[in-house]
Amino acid sequence: MMRGRLLFAILLAGSGAVSVPGCAHVRAYEREYLQDPIMSLEADAREEKANLHWIEAREGSTGGAGAAGGGCACN
C-alpha cells in the first residue's frame, strides 16, 4: 500500500511536470510531424473509449468513468 502511494505521488509529480514550461518552444511551422494522423493522441483516446467496455468486463481496474452500460450478462 505504501509503495502504491509512493508510485502514485511520483506519477502525480511527473504528470505535473508535463505542464511546466520548458526552454524550447516548438513553433507553428515546426509542427508538421506532430500533426500527422499517426501521431494523434486524440484519435487514440476515442478508440480507447470504444474498446473500454469489453476490456472493462474482464479486468478489475479498467474503466469506471461511468456509463458504458454495465450490463450484467457480459461480466
Chain residues binding other proteins by CB under 8 A are: 1, 4, 7-8, 11-12, 14-19, 21-22, 24-26, 30-34, 36-39, 41, 44, 50, 54-55, 58-62, 64-75
Give the shortest CB-3-to-other proteins separation in angstroms.
9
Give the shortest CB-38-to-other proteins separation in angstroms.
4
Give the shortest CB-64-to-other proteins separation in angstroms.
5
Tell me the C-alpha distance between 75 and 63, whole Å: 14
